[in-house]
Amino acid sequence: MNYLQLATDFIQPKLKGKYIHLETILPILNNLNSDFKVSEIGKSVQDRAIYKVEFGVGKTKILMWSQMHGNESTTTKGLFDFFNFLQSDSELAKNIKENYTLLCIPMLNPDGSYLYTRENANAVDLNRDAFLATQPEMKVLHAIYNSFQPDFCYNLHDQRTIFGTEGFNLPATVSFLSPAYNEERAYNDVRLKAIQVINKMNDFLQQYIPNQIGRFDDSYNVNCTGDYFTTQNTPTILFEAGHYNNDYDRDLVRKFVFIALLSSFTVSYENVIVDNELTKYLNIPQNNKSFYDFIYKNVKIIDNNEEKIINFAAQYSEVVSEGELKFVAEIVKIDDLQNFNGHEEYDCSGGLFSANGDNFPKIGDKASFFINNLTEFNNGVKII
């Protein structure tokens, strides 16, 4: 079965780009077929509705939530693509319906999603509020968790373009984590159950994005949702949708999220060979911070009347303006780039930098400049 073709066939066409908020998903929620039960389960700080979507009648219960961080929408798109698939007459869709009960919260932080911020409207990172549950959105998640009593939790996120896979000059397009349950980061049966699912998803994804699947850092923090639910003895899997070449809108990466979700339901939960599963998991390369969006090499500058050849890097920031998401490239690092890669790299061959009357880049400035007063770079990109 070609899972990438399935991911393409079942894309939800009404969800595009990264700016996905409640008004974007509501029409789709209202049009899910009768196999789905959609209901409001609470309100956000700014009184926006939080919805759950239930599917299936099976024994194994899985709780999923997306957009806990409002500006992390790739997994939301992948989740709705998965809903599209579940509405089909595929045998695998029927098998999921018969053997699983899914409870999905497609947008836990609707205020942050509208404002395009990581935090909620109280400027609280919900993924640091799991233990105390001070925020209304986290109270909703706790209440659903306690009433549903899931067998597994899927914690769906995005990660920045800065992450690569250790040992490879490749972006971490999808990353996973079986969160720790104690400071020692020991492995128990709960973590191993999550690891078994991660290994299956990794096997499938390697067919499509080899060496671009990462293992997220497992430093313990009980305030983080995954760590907290693992301490409550529920196997929890962190999904992190990352970067793929030239896919800043992440409309290709959503397909890999779909593949991960779908392949997770092909796991046999019996006869776990503990040593084999843990070894496979630990062989997934660690995420590391090894990328910038742009690196410019061999750039001549004049600083205090002295000529130098340097390298510098620029990174996109994401800004919502007039209802649209804009990518704004800013200079973030000068020199000391030996261990970094650029998603786009330019060799300026000793050409002289100029911008706003200066012959040297400044951190925080827009990445719009000239080389030798001839070659123009606008918003990070070389103008041809």
What are the pLDDT digits (tens) for 132-177?
Answer: 999 999 999 999 999 999 999 999 999 999 999 999 989 999 999 9
Same fold, 3-289 and 292-382: no
* Alpha carbons 371 and 240: distance in angstroms, whole number: 37
Say if CB 135 and CB 42 are below 8 A apart: no
The residue with tokens 């649209």 is 324
The residue with tokens 């998991």 is 281
Buried b (16+ CB within 10 A) or exposed e, 236-253: bbbbbbbbbeebbbbbbb
Nearest to 152 by CA among 52, 267, 242: 267
Given this model, what pLDDT does residue 10 score?
98
pLDDT bin (cut points 50, 70, 90) of residue 273 is low
Nearest to 201 by CA among 211, 193, 213: 213
pLDDT digit string, tens, across residues 309-347: 999 999 999 999 999 999 999 999 999 899 999 999 999
Given this model, what pLDDT does residue 1 score?
81
Q: Which CATH number fits domain 292-382: 3.30.450.20, 3.90.400.10, 3.40.640.10, 2.30.40.10?
A: 2.30.40.10
Given this model, what pLDDT does residue 26 score?
98
pLDDT digit string, tens, across residues 198-221: 999 999 999 999 999 999 999 999
Tell me the pTM: 0.96
Nearest to 152 by CA among 229, 72, 41, 55: 229
pLDDT digit string, tens, across residues 82-113: 999 999 999 999 999 999 999 999 999 999 99
Does the structure show a pLDDT above 90 at 270?
no
Q: 3-289: what fold?
A: Aminopeptidase (3.40.630)
The residue with tokens 């706003």 is 356
pLDDT bin (cut points 50, 70, 90) of residue 304 is confident
Domains of the chain, by residue range, sit at 3-289, 292-382
